[in-house]
Structure 1
Amino acid sequence: MLPTSWFRRCTRALAAACLAGLASAALAAYPDKPVKLLIGFPPGGGGDLYGRAIANELGKVLGATFVVENKAGAGGNIAAELMTQAAPDGYTLLLGMSGNLASSVAIRPTMPYKVPDDFVFISQLVETPYGLVVSADNAKLKTIQDYIAQAKGDKLTYASTGTGGAAQIVMEMVKQQGGLEVLHIPYKGSGPVMTDLMGGLVDSFFAPYTPLMGQITQGKLRLLAVSSDKRVPSLPDVPTLKESGIDVVMTQWYGLVAPKGTPQPVVDKLRQAVKQALQSPELLKVYRGDGAREGSLAGPAFRDFVLKDLANYKRAVERGNLKME
């Protein structure tokens, strides 16, 4: 007769094997319920547009429902914090970006989440350059060279959509590299910026330029320069900052991230799904609009890109002695 302890060991081993089998089956079936994609902005903006586009395509690729939840506030930081508090099962994802995963972390050392520790970096999605724009009625600032010359003499002003945001820190890089005197005027949104820019109350606006293309093509705004490494094909007459003598190459990027601890098979499945989704003509039409471009980095390469971006923001914050106002 076999000892009781032998039966107990066999029972435990069988139970463990069953649980492992169930877990494996559950991972293989992922996703078998709706997946939430948290976006840190209100509906209608560029980030929301990019997020909804990838959610729609991932739903098609994976045969599942992807539900967008807009958790606006604090430059996208609220959405990032909520995702890190979610179960790491692949059913709550985040549209991460240069704001909530890089610039905010650089200027706010007491953030409630840590980069990269609290995140799994799945895939980069899209990048869009920053642009320096002025009112088309501004006769003194017709070119980037006009801007540089005046900013080295008289102090100009520039608007951004918030203190400590990615755009403000990148513009501080521009000031540092170019030796420019440009006073920062923070606003709570692009609407008030447009009113004051057109009214001559602020000299310039530094922001991702793609949402402003309507006003640029209509002749209301003048785009002086972009922050990409090369000229934008659809805007061949607009120089880059780098070729204008200011060695700053930065973009606002968006990517798909998950909470720390998300199972690797789920991460791999999402990564492959994003790769397939980025071949969709409908998605590429959205992502390539007005000079933005789809991402090409995934997994460790995307993580390394984020860490390099974060280091650039930290360097600018330290050199400019920037603080939250």
Structure 2
Amino acid sequence: MMLRRLLPLIGAAIVAAMPALAKADEAWPTKTLTVIVPYPPGGLTDVVTRPMATQLSKILGKPVIVINQPGAGGKVGLQAMLKAPHDGHTIGTVVPATMVSLPLTDKSYGIDPLKEFTPLTIAVDTFMLLMANAEAGKTLKDFTANARANPGKFNYGTLGAGTSYHFYSVILGKELGIDTVHVVYKGDSNALNDLAGGQIQFLLTSAAAGRAYITSGKTVPLAVTGNERSASLPDIPTLREQGVDLVTEGWVGYVVPSGVPAPIAHKLEAAMREAIKDPDVSKVYTNIGYTVRGTTGEEFRSTVKANIKRFDKLIKDGDIQLAE
């Protein structure tokens, strides 16, 4: 009886609140938006985010600032986003590591992305660049031979255990039949500087980060990891061209906390997709060699689910060991 009496009151309260929610949606955004990049400046996520943020500001009529907040393979920045008010003014930048591999491999990660985040859009599909110290080998064939001749003496760098770069480096090592040592770095530039200095012998990195080191003479690009050569790096062959059956899946996307009201999340999603597909922004991405996406949030969610299924199978089948 009590429930029957309360139901009309609850319904009336919801109906009364609807105009306020709609008005809040219409008013949003009400202040500066922040896009958190959970990695250092100058890397893949930073290069993709900044032109998008500039255009997003024009579309929404509010300032959009980009903050680099690195640490723990991306966990620090994303936790900062989750702690911010869930009002749609704080956006997180994500990659397969933070949405897929870390939740699968790191018990201390503490974030369940598909429960705690609302996926907004994937901006671009990316590829990785395999680079080596010049003394380790100037071709993939020579590099492989040298690494096989020195088991346990070839070091490689990544941005953290369980990240996509780590995941694919382990797979690459298995494909090449080499025994290597993992070294963790806080940023792409630190790892690339050590690559040039000979402290590590190879790494997988983004084209955005690795491009500046290609002409140094101290590092050598051995391969790109896409299905085909990159238009921006046409002289670098793919792994498959060189007999290695490995193609990486990479992307840069954006999320908000799941507590952000759906109307606001949808409005932000639409604005971000518009920004990503802006001709000037798209040109920046294609010049780097990335494929412009601008997916819907649901398409993004489906991609994450498919990636989780693939990586989880590799772990359960014992094809990859990620224990440090």
Instruction: Name the TM tier (shorter chain).
Output: 0.7 to 0.9
Q: Which has the larger radius of gyration?
A: 1
State the Cα distance separating 1:300 from its structure 2 match: 1.7
Aligned residues of 2:87 and 2:260 also touching (Cα < 8 A): yes
Identify the residue that residue 27 of structure 2 maps to in structure 1. Answer: 29
Equivalent residues in 2 for 1:1-325, closer than 5 Å:
16-136=14-134, 138=135, 141-155=137-151, 157-164=154-161, 165-317=163-315, 318-323=318-323, 325=324
Give the distance between the partners of 1:305 and 1:113, measured in 2 at CA.
Answer: 18
Deviations 1:102-149 (A, max 9, x none): 22222213422102111111100123311111234x3x6222233334
Instruction: Give the deviation of 1:215 after TM superposition.
Output: 1.9
Q: Is the 8 A contact 1:173 1:316 kept in 2?
A: no
> Does 113-122 or 69-78 show the bigger shift?
69-78
- Relative to structure 2, which stretch is displaced further, 187-196 or 213-222? 187-196
Q: 1:146 to 1:65 in 2, by over 3 A?
A: same
Instruction: Give CA deviations for 1:195-225 in whole Å, capped at 9, x if unaligned.
Output: 4433444322222232121221454421111
Q: CA offsets per residue over residues 239-288 of structure 1, 9 Å max, x none?
A: 21233232222144211111113333222222221221123233223323
- Structure 2 counterpart of 1:280, which letter? D
Q: Which moved more, 1:182-191 or 1:250-259?
A: 182-191
Question: Residue type of the partner of 1:37?
Answer: V
Q: Among the aligned pairs, what percent are the same residue?
A: 28
Q: Secondary structure at the match of 2:319?
A: helix
Offset of residue 48 of structure 1 = 2.3
Give the AA of the match of 1:145: K
TM-score (norm 2): 0.85
Q: Is the 8 A contact 1:210 1:292 kept in 2?
A: no
Distance (Å, rounded) in 1 between the aligned partners of 2:99 and 2:233 = 29
Aligned-partner SS, 1:37: strand
Cα distance in 2, alignment partners of residues 9 and 108 from structure 1: 45
Q: Counterpart of 1:116 in 2: which secondary structure? A: helix
Q: Please tell me the root mean square deviation across aligned C-alpha atoms, in Å.
A: 2.8
Query: TM-score scaled to structure 1, two decimals?
Result: 0.84
Q: What is the deviation of 1:172?
A: 0.6
Runs of 5+ unmatched residues, structure 1? 1-7
Structure 1 residues 43 and 306 mapped into 2: Cα distance closer, same or farther (>3 Å)?
Answer: same
Deviations 1:134-179 (A, max 9, x none): 234x3x6222233334444442513213441321111111122333
- Pairs aligned (count): 315
Which amino acid in structure 2 is aligned with residue 56 of structure 1? T
Asked if the contact 1:160/1:207 (under 8 Å) is kept, the reply is no
8 Å Cα contact 1:159/1:187 also seen in 2: no
Q: CA 1:14 to 1:300, structure 2 compared with 1: closer, same or farther past 3 Å?
A: closer
Task: Output the CA distance in 2 between the equivalents of 1:88 and 1:179.
Answer: 47
Contact 2:103 2:110 in 1 (8 A): no
Question: Secondary structure at 1:320's aligned position in 2?
Answer: coil
Q: Could you say if the C-alpha distance between residues 263 and 10 of structure 1 is closer, same or farther in structure 2, counting changes exceeding 3 Å?
A: closer
- 1:77 is displaced (CA, Å) by 0.7
